[in-house]
Structure 1
Amino acid sequence: MKNIIALALAATLAAPAFAASDFYIGTDVGQTRVDEGGVKFRSTGVSVYGGYQVAPNIAIEAGYRNLGSDTVFGVKTKGSAWQASALFLAPLSTDFSLFGRLGVNRVEGKGSATGFNIKTSDTRAFFGIGGRYALSQQVGLRAEFQKPDSDTKVFSAGIDFRF
């Protein structure tokens, strides 16, 4: 937690050195689907993220994704992921762009039933593809497909704010 606070403070103090509207924050909601060895997990999850557009076609982004929760064979399960990635942007017009994402994330899963608890975590590469439509210079809508783990898919839609 101390590292996150220090990072946020450093970004705030460094902000005047960067151009306006290169920084952004956002949130999305989406459907998580996990299919592992015939066991299927379906849930609605949310994420929060922030980023900086380093160049017209490149941005860096970090965020937290709640993958949701479900009960599978009597076991309550839930998942989450901390993510850091680079986005490669392809503007198709002044308002619409496509993007590809390549990064690393730490996926954590928890399961509990009467008499036992289990927790797993794994750090691995992930990718995503999506699009963004700018409603204005400061506000945009995003839709995206992500693959945070080999057996996990996330389809999401959200909004971002540039400042």
Structure 2
Amino acid sequence: MKQVVLLAALLAAVPAFAQNMYVTGQVARVEHKLSVDDVSIKDNDTGVTAAFGYKFNPNVAVEAGYLYLGEFSQSADDYTIYAKPKSFYGAVVGTLPVTPAFSLSAKVGVARHRTKVGYIDREWDDADSTKVNKTSALFGIGAAFQVTPTVAVVAEYTRLGKVADDEYGDSVKASLFSAGVRVSF
């Protein structure tokens, strides 16, 4: 009997919990910065973000998401270096309503990156790659415009910092501008 009461209580709580959830999908312009031997190279690519969040109240939420950060690639003569970062993150999001339809937000969290880095040397017919895992802080700011009570258009800037580095001081940094849609339930 206790299990039936517990199950009924859990099922009754699901709709209330679902009212505070949201999903976000965005397209991003990702900026990569590669630093090798005191030389910095920047490159841009297109990325995609997807996130799931839970609002505790209109001002505070927690969010978990996936960031596909495109590919960094630079070539000189017959030599190419590349990096392909992807990240999962968790963050706390603070929201400041400016008007009933427009709000500003900030997020702080932790991201776990997995980056495939490598090179291709066509002159010597040589290539190598490795996967690097790194954890870093995530910071973001954004704005949202509520189109309907459940749909908002969002724009964000997110700074990930170093998504890969090695023992020699070489590193890949990433940041992104993104725009998309947030659907609340």
Q: Could you state the TM-score of these two structures normalised by the residue count of structure 1?
A: 0.85
Q: Residue 108 and residue 19 in structure 1: after superposition, are their counterparts in 2 closer, same or farther (change >3 A)?
A: closer
CA deviation after TM superposition for structure 1 residue 152, in Å: 1.9
Which residue identity does 2:99 align to in structure 1? S
Structure 1 residues 94-120: Cα deviation after superposition (integer angstroms, max 9, x where no partner) = 100000000000122112434311211
Q: Deviations over 1:24-82 (max 9, x none)?
A: 11100111112232122311000111101111210110000000013223134211110
Aligned match of 1:122:
134
Number of the residue aligned with 1:92: 98
CA contact 2:108–2:137 (8 Å) conserved in 1: yes
Give the Å deviation of 1:19.
6.0
Retained in 1: the 8 A contact 2:32–2:72?
no
Which aligned pairs between 1:1-163 and structure 2 lie closer than 5 A? 15-18=14-17, 20=19, 22-37=20-35, 38-73=40-75, 74-112=80-118, 113=120, 114-150=126-162, 151-163=173-185
Report the Cα offset of residue 17 of structure 1: 3.8
Query: Could you tell me how far apart the structure 2 residues matched to 1:126 and 1:82 are?
Result: 11
Q: Which structure has the larger Rg over C-alpha atoms?
A: 2
Structure 2 runs not aligned, ≥5 long: 1-10, 121-125, 163-172
Provide the rounded CA distance (Å) in 1 between the counterparts of 2:132 and 2:12. Answer: 36
Amino acid at match of 2:117: G
Q: How many residues align?
A: 151
Q: Look up the equivalent residue of 2:67 and give its one-letter code.
A: R
Output the amino acid matched with 2:41: V
**C-alpha displacement at 1:13, in angstroms?**
9.3
Hey, what's the Cα distance between the residues in 1 that align with 2:26 and 2:116?
Answer: 22
**Counterpart of 2:57 in structure 1: which amino acid?**
A
> Where in structure 1 are there 5+ consecutive unaligned residues?
1-11
For 2:12 and 2:86, how far apart are their aligned partners in 1? 30
Q: Percent identity?
A: 30
Q: Distance in 1 between matches of 2:51 and 2:70?
A: 17
Is the 1:107–1:149 Cα contact (8 Å) retained in structure 2?
Answer: no
1: CA distance between counterparts of 2:183 and 2:160? Answer: 24
Aligned-residue RMSD, C-alpha: 1.9
User: What secondary structure sits across from 1:125 in the alignment?
Assistant: strand
